Amino acid sequence: MDTEFNALIRNDTWTLVSPHPQMNIVGCKWVYIIKRLTDGSIERYKAHLVAKGFHQQEGLDYSETIPNHVCRLHKSLYGLKQAPRAWFDRFSEFLTEFGFLGSKTNTSLFTYNTAAITMYLLVYVDDIVLTGNNTLFMSRFLDQLTKTFTIKDLDNLHYFLGISAHSCSKGLMLSQWQYILDLLDRTHMTSCKPISTPLSPSQSLSRLGGTPVDDPTLYHSVVGGLQYASLTRPDISFAVNKVCQFMHRPCTDHWAAVKRILRYLKSTIDHGLYLQRQPTLQLSAYFDADSAGCPDDKKSMGGFAIYHGTNLISWSSRKQATMARSSTELEYRAIANAAAELT
């Protein structure tokens, strides 16, 4: 708490002023967070002073109570409605001044390019990943960043947004084994029987599959978790897309399909995406589609996989928007989606 509070003071986050009746005074509270390593062990404890943003009213002052005084904020605190935008605007302004350019397709990605130096910076709220081809220049950039913002350098990338990154001599292994373990624990399936496939090839899920489940909220939560797990597990994309189609009225057959995916993940918990250096920038795409695969509306499922050399970098498996009138039409739609992603 002392570390957090001292950082706020150093950054001139507020000044104490006397309150008056016209102020909209927003309260605050301490929020405690446990940061964990990829193996689940505790790395450190963190504390955040968080404003109660739900008390804010548009157009009024944003302040925070202190005995006999309130804090007139000059910078945003966690919890304020404008905090994420204010932080991102300030951070992106700093990057732009340094020479970074924001990506047109991914607002979280910034690139720095000169004749000899290339850097990529990815930011998600206040978690940052930086990589580049010049270690000395990156160190100089980090020194400048530290002078402007209160940040902590955690050295080599090992854990980011629930994704474990394991470096080896030839590449980088991305996996979510700890996230999957947490998902299995949340569904009480840590001791379930493993299975070798995420979905039965003979099973055709329908919206009338069995009786409605007792707790749709659990279904929604677990399926959302499976969607996030597919970030490093393209092998479950097709099965997850199937169970996502019944969020409005999940039934017993759909829940059984969800549990099968979890059993498959348990048997392949150490699987993930392996990325390695490529000698060329060659891109290649593969696509496919079934014929009227959905028994309810006769729409087809289409999917694609995009590779950079041998690295799988983008994939999709989803139902086509409209019903195709021929196998040729559904194949053309599938290749059009793949071509758009490739472009």
pTM of the predicted structure, to 2 decimals: 0.73
Q: Residue written as tokens 């597990």?
A: 233
| Residue 56 scores a pLDDT above 80 | no
Supply φ then ψ for residue 290, to 5 degrees.
-95, 175
| Residue 183 scores a pLDDT above 80 | yes
Task: Report d(CA 213, CA 18) in Å as an integer.
Answer: 56
| Residue 80 scores a pLDDT above 70 | no
| Residue 66 scores a pLDDT above 80 | no
Least confident of 8-17, 58-67, 195-204: 58-67
- Per-residue pLDDT band at 61 (split at 50, 70, 90): very low
Question: What's residue 76's pLDDT?
Answer: 63
Residues 79 and 53: beta-carbon distance below 8 Å: yes
| Beta pairing, strands 14-17 & 69-73 | antiparallel
Question: What's residue 62's pLDDT?
Answer: 42
Indicate the SS3 state at residue 43. Answer: strand
| Residue 60 scores a pLDDT above 60 | no
- Per-residue pLDDT band at 269 (split at 50, 70, 90): very high
Edge-to-edge strand ranges of the sheet holding 14-17: 14-17, 69-73, 63-66
Residues 120 and 131: beta-carbon distance below 8 Å: yes
Mean pLDDT of 71-100: 78
Domain positions in the chain are 2-81, 85-155, 174-267, 278-342
Q: What is the mean pLDDT of the chain?
A: 85
Supply φ then ψ for residue 11, to 5 degrees.
-85, 5
Task: Report d(CA 28, CA 63) in Å as an integer.
Answer: 10
Question: What's residue 54's pLDDT?
Answer: 63
Max CA distance (Å), the chain:
75
Pick from 56-70, 221-235, 289-303 the range whose average pLDDT is largest: 221-235
Of residues 67 and 123, the one with the higher pLDDT is 123
Give pLDDT tens digits for 237-258: 999 999 999 999 999 999 999 9
Q: How far apart are the first and last CA of the chain?
A: 48
Give pLDDT tens digits for 281-340: 899 999 998 888 888 888 888 999 999 999 999 999 988 888 888 889 989 999 999 999
| Residue 130 scores a pLDDT above 70 | yes
Question: What's residue 170's pLDDT?
Answer: 84
Give, as one character, the DSSP assignment of residue 12: T
